Structure formats: C-alpha cells, structure tokens
Amino acid sequence: MPPTPLRPILLPPRLTPSALRAVTFQADISNPDQVKSLFDAAESAFNSPVHIFVNSAGILDPKYPTLADTTLEDFDRTFSVNARGAFLCCREAANRIKRGGGGRIICLTTSLVASLRPGYGAYIASKAAVEAMVKILAKELKGTGITANAVAPGPVATEMFYAGKTEEMIKKAAEECPLGRLGQTDDVVPVVGFLASDAGEWVNGQIIRVNGGYV
C-alpha cells in the first residue's frame, strides 16, 4: 500500500497554529521507499531540512511466547518493524539532518533490555539491536553536531502495554515499580523533549531508562 497523503491534525489548545504546526504521514518504516517518502514529505511540508528525528514505532507479540515457542513469522515481523525500521529511519535521518548543531536522533527502546523478562525474547532482542545502533551512530556522527540517544521506558500505560495482559499481570507490573504505579506517556515525553532541546546537546550516545526505578 502506498503512503497516505499528508493531512493536518488537531492540536491541543495550548498549541495554537501560530505557535506550532503539525502534519501526519502514514508509512511502513520497514519499507525503505516509504521511509524516504516520509522524510521527503516532512521536508516539503515545512520547507526545511529535518532537524530532529524521533522514532517511537514498535510492535510487541501480545502472546508473550517463550523463545522456544516463538514462530519464525512473529520473530521476523518484530525485527522488521523494531530493528529494520529503526535502522532505515536512522540511516535516512543521519543523511538528512542539518549539520552544524542542533540535530537530534532519538529512538524509543525499552527498559526490558535491562530486566530481560521471559516472554519478551524477540521484542527485547529487537530493541537491544536499536540501542547498539544508537551508540554506534553517535560515534559515527562525530563532527556533525548531531546527537543520537535512546529513551528506554519501563511499563507505560499504553495500548501496546495492555495488549494480551491479564489484570494480574498489569497489577504485578505496577507493584514491581518502586513508585507503585505504571508509567504514563507524560512521564516519558519531557525526557524526549529535553534530549531534543539545546540543553540536551551534551547527552550523546546514551540509553536513558525512564522507568520509575523498575530496573
């Protein structure tokens, strides 16, 4: 399926059109042609090179199989989006982002890479690959003024987190956090915002685990 056309989205009340403009563009990030089209569309919409790239795309097998029970199809699908997709997007970003300062590449991974929970084998492995790529990318972009980092949330109350989980599993995840709750997207967004800002320039090649002490 070809990418859908650009279309405007509604902004929260505090983000007035005079302060910020946003557009959406649908793409399969495992497809290199669609990734290129995604960046082309962004540059065309704002008549500017890309300055900041954030990759938050990801999928998770809601069956939570052991590695022994993970099908090849599910394994390949997970890596296609999580690892291949991140690679294609980061590669495009590294070649497109404006040099000379202020350029940012930020990938969302997971604190499960550190906790190594059973049932998440393919997902953890795919996100671990992204963390390795981010660290290497930061070194390879030496001299460009572009930083590359990963933000690795713990359990966050999102549709993907809840998929396939029982009430008992959800309760256990909250209880395992020293703060006694699940994370919220509002806990993660400020960290991404900091890394994207001028104040975040000295943070480079890092994996920042935003998890309330979960691991």
pLDDT of residue 10: 45
Is residue 105 in some structural domain? yes
pLDDT of residue 101: 82
Look up 123 and say whether it is catalytic.
yes
pLDDT of residue 1: 43
Is residue 4 in some structural domain? no
Is residue 154 in some structural domain? yes
Tens digits of residue pLDDT in 22-57: 889 999 999 999 999 999 999 999 999 999 999 999
CATH of the domain at 49: 3.40.50.720
Of the residues 64, 123, 162, 214, which is catalytic? 123
Tens digits of residue pLDDT in 74-122: 999 999 999 999 999 999 999 999 899 889 999 999 999 999 999 999 9
Dihedral of CA 170/176/180/186: which sign? negative
Say what the pTM is. 0.90
Asked if pLDDT for residue 203 goes beyond 80, the answer is yes
Is residue 131 in some structural domain? yes
Neighbours of 192 (CB within 10 A): 21
Is residue 15 in some structural domain? no
The C-alpha atoms of residue 56 and residue 70 are separated, in whole angstroms, by 24
Tens digits of residue pLDDT in 128-166: 999 999 999 999 999 999 999 999 999 999 999 999 999
Is residue 114 in some structural domain? yes
**128-147 burial string, b = 16+ CB within 10 Å, else e?**
bbbbebbbebbeebeeeebb
Question: Which residue range is the domain that position 188 belongs to?
Answer: 27-210
- Structurally, the chain folds into a number of domains equal to 1
